[in-house]
Structures are given as structure tokens and as C-alpha cells.
Amino acid sequence: MGLKGHVSTLGVLLSCASTLLLVGFVSCEEEPVLRRRTTRSVAKTAPKVATGLMKYNSPGNGLQVAPDWIKSLDPNMMRRSNQPLEGFRFGHALHPTAIIERGEMGWRLVLVEEAPASPLQTQHVGQRVEVPFKGEPTSLYKQSGDFKERDVEWSVPKSLTPNDLRPWKVETEYLLELNQWTVKPFDAKGEPFQEAGKASGRLMLRAKDDQGVEGWVVGRFDEAVVRYIGDPARWERAHP
């Protein structure tokens, strides 16, 4: 082989080596970039659930203990508190929406943290407080409960899935009044879930658990949705 042949072969070898080195450099540069993107993507999405549930599992910076005027359960103080329903739980502010519904276990005042998009919506994200009525609601209805009764149910989310709740085991005391009750009877020919009318009233409620964590809600609710969750006659037959 002559000199020209050796030079030509060497050139080809050098060209191939350069190509391999170039591919290697590109490969080494791209791999960390892909890893960094994956890390950033996870960092942006992973904490969302934990952040959303934080206020249910850790104390906030707001009021931790109910004010004395709420602890007094004075009906006059409840009536003077003319703002829409508001309160705190574990130091986190709470602005619930009131619904009154007739279900299997009778009439209940239900407070939901997320305002419903429609009158018959039953799937909610957030806390849920249920106060059972002890009698048949009217426009002059009044009711109270003390720590011994344990009839109020206060639930908090286990996840951000609607209605995925766990009970907050508390004792409660409260005052409840209605001053408007405009409700039509259940239509036996209609659907099982029916909007029944509107109700207005006031509530003062305080809860505490065995760890000293407190929650409370006080204020008025105006034109709250009243609804049937099933035929009352059916529930009465099931629970005479």
C-alpha cells in the first residue's frame, strides 16, 4: 500500500473517532437535562395534595380557642352576630355554606366547606358538619345541644377526593334557630332527590376534641337550600 493509501485510511479512522466522540458528548449533555426536567415535574405536582390537606392536619396561624362570647352560648350574642356563617378549626378560617336536607335519618342542617354548584349536588370537597334536627323544622324552630349529647358530626377530608372524609371525634355545644321555612312536600311522582324550598336562620356551634383542638362556627344563613334525599315516607317506614 502506498503513502496515499495510508493517509486515506488514517483519515477515515480519525473521522469515525470524531463522530463517536461527538455522539458521546451529546449523549452525556442530554441525559442530565432529562433528569432535571423529571425532577422539576415531580416537584411541581407531588406537594399539591399535602398542601391541600395541611390545614386539616396541622395548626394554622388564626384563633385556636373560641372567644368567650361564643363559649357563653348566649342566644342574644348569636343574634347580634349578623355576619354570614364563619369560624375557625385548628387555627384555620372556615366559611361554610348551609344546606338543610331530609334523608334517611331525618332532617339535618349540613355545613359544607365548598359551596355547591347546584341545589342537588351531594359531592363536596372539604369539611362537613351535620346537626340533626330534634323535631320538625318550622319558621319558629329553636334547638340547643350540649357536650354530653355528641349528636353533631364534624368530618374532615382524608384526601382531596369529594366526600372522602374521616370523623373528627369531638364534643359539641350549639344553638340553632330558624326564622324562615318555606318548604313544599315531597312529590311522590318525582325524582328521589328534590329541591324542596328555602330556609333562613342562625347557628352558634363550638366543638373540641380530647387533644384540646377547637373549632366553631357562628352567624346567619339566608335562603339556604332545603332538599329531599329520598322519599321521607320510605325512610319513615324503614325507621318507624
- Domain with 197 in it: 59-238
What average pLDDT does range 81-101 have in this prediction?
A: 96
In a domain, 89, yes or no: yes
In a domain, 132, yes or no: yes
User: What confidence score (pLDDT) does residue 51 get?
Assistant: 66
Same domain, 190 and 100: yes
User: What confidence score (pLDDT) does residue 24 get?
Assistant: 43
Same domain, 37 and 81: no
C-alpha cell at 166: 374521616
User: What confidence score (pLDDT) does residue 17 get?
Assistant: 46
pLDDT at 36 over 50: no
* Per-residue burial over 93-109, b = 16 or more CB atoms within 10 Å of its CB, e = otherwise: ebebbbbbbbbeebbbb
User: What confidence score (pLDDT) does residue 113 get?
Assistant: 94
In a domain, 21, yes or no: yes
Q: Specify the pTM.
A: 0.78
Same domain, 115 and 199: yes
pLDDT at 10 over 80: no
Residue that wins the pLDDT comparison between 240 and 201: 201
Same domain, 84 and 146: yes
pLDDT at 70 over 90: yes
Same domain, 6 and 65: no
User: What confidence score (pLDDT) does residue 50 get?
Assistant: 57
pLDDT at 20 over 60: no
Name every residue whose Cβ is closer than 8 Å to that of residue 205 and which is 6 or more positions away in sequence.
87, 129, 131, 152, 172, 173, 174, 175, 176, 216, 217, 218
Q: Roughly what angle, to the nearest 10 degrees, separates helices 47-57 and 3-45?
A: 20
pLDDT at 109 over 90: yes
pLDDT at 23 over 70: no
In a domain, 219, yes or no: yes
Domain count, the chain: 2
> How do residues 127-185 score in pLDDT, each as one tens digit?
999 999 999 999 999 999 999 888 999 999 999 899 999 999 999 999 999 999 999 99
In a domain, 53, yes or no: no
In a domain, 4, yes or no: yes
